[in-house]
């Protein structure tokens, strides 16, 4: 499954299309939260109460965030989820064997740095070993690169 960034950000979509040798089309791949929905009691499990949306996504690793500008009043209202995923794993391009440091590799995370103040903002991340941690931007960038 994909997250809104994969669906609406041209640079992100192109990256995953290239890494999958053209097998992945973000427009045709279901959202991860739609795939998981039958397994949870309520769709509100995909809503972070701190989700306040954003004007420009600060977590974006691409030069442009394409369709992810002016996400208001929240990511949950606009897309049905506050949580985003590390797409290589959700698409099956990577497997558990590819995770070298499970305690240092984030798989699911808040869509934006909406915890804390604007100066000291942070994001919650679910790691491959199952623990959750509140991360600063720098910590998130390290965890999203496998702890390297």
Which carries the bigger pLDDT value, residue 133 or residue 58? 133
Which carries the bigger pLDDT value, residue 60 or residue 25? 25
pLDDT of the residue at 95: 78
The share of the chain scoring above pLDDT 70, in percent, equals: 89
Rounded CA gap, 24 and 7, in Å? 11
Instruction: Specify the pTM.
Output: 0.84
| Nearest in space to 62 (alpha carbons), one of 114, 10, 7, 136 | 10
């Amino acid at each position: 499954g994909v997250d809104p960034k994969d669906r609406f950000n041209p640079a992100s979509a192109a990256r995953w299309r290239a890494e999958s040798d053209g097998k992945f089309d973000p427009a045709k791949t279901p959202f991860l939260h739609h795939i998981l929905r039958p397994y949870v009691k309520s769709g509100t499990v995909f809503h972070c109460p701190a989700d306040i949306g954003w004007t420009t996504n600060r977590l974006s690793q691409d030069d442009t965030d394409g369709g992810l500008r002016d996400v208001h009043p929240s990511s949950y209202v606009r897309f049905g989820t506050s949580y985003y995923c590390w797409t290589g794993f959700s698409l099956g391009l990577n497997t558990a064997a590819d995770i070298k440091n499970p305690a240092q590799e984030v798989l699911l995370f808040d869509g934006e740095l909406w915890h804390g103040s604007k100066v000291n903002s942070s994001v919650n991340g679910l790691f491959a070993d199952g623990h959750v941690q509140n991360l600063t931007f720098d910590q998130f960038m390290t965890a999203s690169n496998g702890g390297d």
